[in-house]
Amino acid sequence: MNYIMPIALLLLLAACGDESATVATTKEVVAAATEQQARGFVFNKWEYEIPRDGAIECPKGLNITDEQFFSDEYAAVREEVKRRFDKGDREGALELLPVDACKDPSAMPDPGFLLFEGNPTVAGLDLDGVNSTAAAGGQCAHDDFKDKNGASGIDYQWWRLMGCVSGMRPDGLYDRLFSTNNTILENGYSTLLELRQVSGTPTDGRVEVRLFTSAGPVTKDTNGQVVRDMSQVVHEDPMFHSAVFPGEIKNGVLTAGPVDAKLKFKVQAIDNYYYFRDLRIQADILPDGTISGLLAGYWDTKNIFDFMTEVYIGPVHLGRSAANNLGYQCAGLYHAIPRVADGHPDPGTGQCTSVSTVIHFAAVPAFIIMPETKNQVAKQ
C-alpha cells in the first residue's frame, strides 16, 4: 500500500499547479486525501428498471389479484371483514378471507400467471455473456433484451415475471410512489458501497469493492435528501456484509462484480432482505463525487417469493394486501418464478434457481463505520 502516498502527493502537487485543479470540488480534494482509506457511499436511490420504450404492452392483459379471482367469495364476507377490521380485529378479519397463498403457496393450485412477452429496450447488463433466446430451448431458455444503445443479450427476467403486473408498470403504483426513493428516505435502511484503491488512480484503476446494509436509516437534510459525508454505520449482522469483490474504474465508470450479496430491506411493515447472486455493478462516478448506475444480478428464486410476500404488521401477514395492491396472485407468482428463472441451474434437476434483475441506484459519498460487535467478521 505504500505506493499510494507518493501518488497522492503527486496528485496534490499536480492539483496545486494545474489551473483547472484549483477549482477542484471539495469532494475531489477529500477523495484524494483519503485515497489510502476507503471511499464510501450511501445509496439514496434504489429502484427496479421499468422499461418504457418500445413494445411494452401486455396484449393478453394484466395479471389479476386474489380479490378478483375470488370475487364471489370476497363479496360474501366483505361486510364482516370490514366490520372486524374497524373493530381492530385484523386477525379475525383476515381469517374470513379465502385461502391465503401468500402465507402458504401450497394452499391453492396454480391459477396461472401472465408473463411479459414484449420486446422493449431495457437498461441492464448481459450477465451471462450469451444472447439468449427462448427458441434455443432448454430448461432456462428465455429471450434477452436489447438496451437503448442496441447492445443485445441484456438479462432481465424479473421483468418477464412482473412486466404484466399493473402496479409495476410505467406510471403504476411502484413507479409513482417508490421511484421517488420513498423507502430510503422514509427511514428505511440503505445500502453502503465501499471502494478501496488497489492500483491506479481514483478515476482510473483497480479497486476492491464491498456492499453492506446500513445499521439504520440514513440522515436527511431539510430538503429530505440524504446528507453526504455523513458517517454511516454498517449493520452489525455479518450476513449483510458482502465479501470483497474486484472492480475497475475506467474513464470514471465503475464496473465491479460478481459477488453474492444479501442486502436488508426494512421500511414500515416490511423487514426482509434481497439475496442477489453474482451481482454486478456498472455505474458512473460523477464529477460531484456521487455515483449513479446499475446493479444487475441474479435474484434467488426462493428469496423473491419471500421478499415479495413477507409483509407483517404485528402478527398479521399482509402479503396478500401487498399482492392485491400491486396486482397479482401469490399462488400464480409462486409457480411463475421457476418458469422465468434463468440463472444458477440446480446441478441435479437443471432447474434455474435465480432470476436476472436490474436495479437503478445512486449514492452519495459517506464515511463507512464498521460496527463494534463480537460477531463482526474481522475487517482488515
Q: Phi, psi at residue 355, to the nearest 5°?
A: -120, 125
Based on the shown chain and the rule CB under 8 A, indicate whether residue 261 belongs to the binding site for other proteins.
Answer: no
Minimum distance from residue 233 beta carbon to other proteins (Å): 7
Sign of CA dihedral 97, 101, 107, 110: positive
Strand, coil or helix: what is 215? strand
Bridge partners, 119 (sequence order): 55
Min CB(358)–other proteins separation in Å: 31
Binding to other proteins in span 198-257, by CB under 8 A:
221-223, 225, 227-231, 233
Q: Smaller CB distance to other proteins: residue 29 or 62?
A: 29
Distance between CA atoms of residues 29 and 255, nearest Å: 23
* Interaction pattern, residues 316-355, with other proteins; x per rule: CB under 8 A: ----------------------------------------
Nearer to other proteins, 207 or 215 (CB): 215
Interface stretch with other proteins, choices 101-109, 119-127, 339-347, 365-373 (CB under 8 A): 365-373
- Rule CB under 8 A: is residue 313 a binding residue for other proteins? no
Work out the number of other CB atoms within 10 angstroms of the CB of residue 260.
16
Write out the DSSP string of 170-200.
TTSHHHHHGGGTHHHHTT-EEEEEEEEEEEE
Choices 22-30, 56-64, 319-327, 342-350; region in contact with other proteins by CB under 8 A: 22-30
User: What is the nearest approach in angstroms of other proteins to the Cβ of residue 31?
Assistant: 10
Residue nearer to other proteins on the CB measure, 73 or 229: 229
What is residue 304's three-state secondary structure? helix
CA dist., res. 329 & res. 327, Å (int): 7
Residue 146 phi/psi, 5-degree rounding, is: -110, 150
Any contact of residue 24 with other proteins (CB under 8 A)? yes
User: What is the H or E stretch that residue 91 is in?
Assistant: helix 90-96
Q: How many chain residues interact with other proteins (CB under 8 A)?
A: 24
Q: Residues 5, 18, 26, 55: which binds other proteins (CB under 8 A)?
A: 26
Q: Is the Cβ–Cβ distance between 231 and 218 less than 8 Å?
A: no
> With binding defined as CB under 8 A, does residue 36 bind other proteins?
no
Distances (CA, A) of 291 to 124, 192, 361: 16, 12, 8
**Minimum CB distance to other proteins smaller for 143 or for 229:** 229
Inter-CA distances, 176 with 54, 218, 308, 351, Å: 20, 22, 18, 35
In whole angstroms, give the CA distance from residue 125 to residue 282. Answer: 8
Shortest distance, position 235 Cβ to other proteins, whole Å: 13
Any contact of residue 29 with other proteins (CB under 8 A)? Answer: yes
Shortest distance, CB of residue 209 to other proteins, whole angstroms? 19
CB 325, min distance to other proteins, A:
33
Query: Which residues of the chain form contacts with other proteins (CB under 8 A)?
Result: 12, 22-26, 29-30, 32-34, 221-223, 225, 227-231, 233, 367-369
